[in-house]
Amino acid sequence: MASVTTALDVLVSTNWVAQHRADAGVRVVEVDVDTAAYDQGHVPGALGWNWTTDLCDTVVRDIVPKAKLEKLLGASGITPDSTIVLYGDNNNWFAAWALWQLKVYGHNDVRIMDGGRKKWLAEGRDLETTKPAVEPTTYAAKDPDLSIRAFLPEVQQALARPNVAMVDVRSPQEFTGEILAPPGLPETCQRGGHIPGAKSIPWGKACNEDGTFKSREELLALYGGQGVTPDKQVIAYCRIGERSSHTWFVLKHLLGYPNVKNYDGSWTEWGNLVGAPVER
Amino acid sequence: MKAEDFHERRDELGGWPVNIVSYKIGDTYYCTIDNVDPGARFARAEGPTRDAAEAAALEKAGRYLQQTRRRAPA
């Protein structure tokens, strides 16, 4: 069985960040759905990464290329020994997307600030609008770890494998095909519905109202109750792979499931694929 | 500098549940509106008062939500 990372290694509180944000070796980074939020005010000393430009290949549809990530981390003053603390809006949605990509490229110590931007603001903690001065580094990333990333062929093969649990983390209306995209966002697929056999467990169910993650017991009940158990290979997907990176984080790092992959092609791949089976 | 006057509430807009968050930083009120599930921010605005920021954000949100089509079950 793969080693299990405990929640204590990957989740820190707003109090912890307030106390340790300026420690040597700690780099706090904000990653928001709303890319303008960072400029309103952010955790003092935090950098801001833009998910639409910094955390993807902007030409080919893909996650951030290795060389581009190395450049981003180097410009952020991060070394392979740094503790990266990520936080963001919307229950840390895109902070989890950044964490998953950093894990793909083998960064060891990446953590999420529990409750994210919302909790920091609601608690009335210090903010600043200036961007911190950074001493650049040269960062060498590891080769991508594809044990945590699922591509289309593996998902297609998984349809016939009973030991695979497919988790659709989109909203129930997307799962049933009633809508093709979250309300208010553009439709980006040709067909609605879900991958046959997938269980509907919306990603946000893993969080409390204040944006923090639910307890281990509650999370085990949420996923285990749908048959998503640690003895199975789990593949999580959503529309474009970001919401499912949040669920991947919960299953892999908060619950310690040994074999969890994020299918970042997700519904915008499957729902546009000619001949792909769809359930509603 | 700190966020002040942080408010969050649920409402319904165009038949969809939405989450409305507003707060003040400095002299500016910010308002963001996200769909409750999945919880994605899809409209935001700012203004000199909470009411002004919310009104502008709600107007945008209403327009975007009109583009969401419901399909009949298969």
Give A 93-132 residues with CB within 8 A of chain B: 93, 118, 120-122, 124-129
Architecture per CATH, domain A147-270, reads as: 3-Layer(aba) Sandwich (3.40)
pLDDT tens by residue, chain A, 280 residues: 333 344 668 999 999 999 999 999 999 999 998 888 999 999 999 999 999 999 999 999 999 999 999 999 999 999 999 999 999 998 899 999 999 999 999 999 999 999 999 999 999 999 999 999 999 999 999 999 999 999 999 999 999 999 999 999 999 999 999 999 888 888 888 999 999 999 999 999 999 988 999 999 999 999 999 999 999 999 999 999 999 999 999 999 999 999 999 999 999 999 999 999 999 9
Instruction: Output DSSP code: residue B38.
Output: T
CA dihedral A96, A100, A106, A110 (to 10 degrees): 10
Q: Would you call B39 and A90 a contact, using CB atoms and an 8 Å cutoff?
A: yes
Chain A residues whose beta carbon lies within 8 Å of the beta carbon of residue B4: 124
Catalytic residue flag (residue A56): no
Say whether domain A7-144 belongs to CATH 3.90.1150.10: no
Where do the domains of chain B lie? 3-66
> Which residue among B4, B41, B67 places its CB closest to the CB of A34?
B41
Chain B residues whose beta carbon lies within 8 Å of the beta carbon of residue A128: 1
A236 touching B (Cβ < 8 Å): no
- Residue intervals of chain A classified under CATH 3.40.250.10 are 7-144, 147-270
Report ipTM (2 d.p.). 0.87
CATH topology of domain B3-66: Viral Envelope Glycoprotein; domain 2 (3.30.67)
User: What residue of A is the nearest CA neighbor of B42?
Assistant: A184
Q: Would you call B37 and A172 a contact, using CB atoms and an 8 Å cutoff?
A: yes
Q: Would you call A122 and B3 a contact, using CB atoms and an 8 Å cutoff?
A: yes
| Amino acid found at A179 | I
Work out the minimum CA distance from B50 to partner chain A, whole angstroms.
16
Burial class of residue A143, CB neighbours in 10 A (0-12, 13-18, 19+): exposed
